[in-house]
Amino acid sequence: MFLIRISIIYFAGFFLITVTTAFAFFPLSWDDLMYQMELRMNWKRVKMETVVQIFDPFSKTEENGIPEHPAAIPARGYKQLIHWKDGEVLVVETQSMEGELLHFYYEYKDDVLSVSLNDNRSFETEDILPLQIRFRSKYEEVRNKALQELGIVNKEIDYHIREDNHVFLRIGDLDSGHYALLNPKTYDLSAVYDRIWKSDGSWLDIKIIFIKYETYRWQTYPKVTEYYLDGHLFKRVSVSSVRTLSRLPINRLKEQAIKLRQKQIATLKYDYAL
C-alpha cells in the first residue's frame, strides 16, 4: 500500500511538472491574449490629466561636480487633458504649463481632427497620443490600432526573456525592432520598442516603458511613461489625475472641434474634411 501511494504521488508530481512546464514555454494565441486582456479592462469613460517633461537626450551638464544626463528643458514641458470613451471617443487637449491650448486632437468614431494651434509649438499626432489609453480598451480593434501606430503589424505571440532573466509576453517580431512586451501575469503593457530610420539606412532605437502601475476603479494603469532615444531619456509623462465619468462633455468637445476645423485652411498635411 505504501509503495502504491508513493507511485501515485510520483506520477502526479511528474504530470504536474510536465503540464506546468508546457504552459510556461508555449505562449498564448493572439485570440487567447485578446480575451485575457478584455477581461481586465474596466474603464468605459475616463478623464485623465498628465504632465509631460521634455529632456535633451544628448546633453551633458554638471551640478556640484556631478554629471547630469540628460538635462531637463522646462520651457518645452506641457500638460494634457484626455477624454476617453472606449471604442468611440478620444480627445486630447495639449496645453502649455500656463494653460494655453497648443494642440487639439479629436477622434469621434470615424471623425478625426489633429491640429497645432501655436506657430512656435508644433506637435505631430504621434507626439501627443496617450499610448496607455488605447491599451485600456476592451476592443481588439482599438488595441490593434495602437500597435499599428507603433509599426507593430506582426501578431506573433512569444515569450521574451530579458537579460536580467525577467520573462515577458512579446507581441511582434523581435528582429524588426517593432514589438511590445507585456507582463505575463497581469497582461499590463511593460515596454514598447520602435525605430527611427535615418537617411543613411541606419536607425535610432526608441524604447517606451510603462512603470509605477496603480489601480483605480478595478483598472490598472501606468502612473509614469518614459520615452528613450538610443537609451537616453527624452520624455516623461506622469499621470496627475484620473477619474471615471458617467458621461463625457461630448457636445462641448464637438463644438470646439468644429470651430477649429472652420478656422483652418486645408493642406496636404491635414485633411480637415474627414
User: Over the stretch 51-89, which tens digit does the pLDDT of each residue have?
Assistant: 999 998 877 655 555 555 678 899 999 999 999 999 999
pLDDT score recorded for residue 42: 87
pLDDT score recorded for residue 177: 87
Q: What is the helix (H) or strand (E) element at residue 149, kind and residue range?
A: helix 140-149
Residue 274 lies in a domain: no
Residue 218 lies in a domain: yes
Number of domains in the chain: 1
pLDDT score recorded for residue 24: 46
Please name the amino acid found at residue 232. Answer: H
Alpha-carbon distance of 136 to 273, in angstroms, equals: 29
pLDDT score recorded for residue 101: 95
pLDDT score recorded for residue 61: 57
Burial class (CB in 10 A: 0-12, 13-18, 19+), 103: buried
Residue 49 lies in a domain: yes
Residue 272 lies in a domain: no
pTM confidence score: 0.81
Which residue has 547630469 as its cell numbers? 68
Please answer whether residues 273 and 113 qualify as being in contact, where contact means their C-beta atoms are separated by less than 8 angstroms.
no
Residue 178 lies in a domain: yes
Task: Give me the domain span that covers residue 193.
Answer: 30-263
Alpha-carbon distance of 156 to 162, in angstroms, equals: 18
* Cell of residue 216, nine digits: 483605480
CATH number of the domain to which 230 belongs: 2.50.20
Please answer whether residues 235 and 53 qualify as being in contact, where contact means their C-beta atoms are separated by less than 8 angstroms.
yes
pLDDT per residue of the chain (274 residues) written in tens, 0 to 9: 544 545 444 444 443 433 343 344 445 788 888 888 888 888 999 999 999 999 988 776 555 555 556 788 999 999 999 999 999 999 999 999 999 999 999 999 889 999 999 888 889 988 899 888 888 888 988 888 888 887 888 888 999 988 888 899 999 988 888 999 999 989 999 999 998 888 887 888 899 999 999 999 999 999 999 999 988 899 999 999 999 999 999 899 999 999 888 876 444 344 433 3
Residue 134 lies in a domain: yes
Which residue has 481588439 as its cell numbers? 140
Residue 25 lies in a domain: no
Q: How far is CA 194 from CA 33, 53, 150, 153, in A?
A: 21, 20, 7, 12
Residue 41 lies in a domain: yes
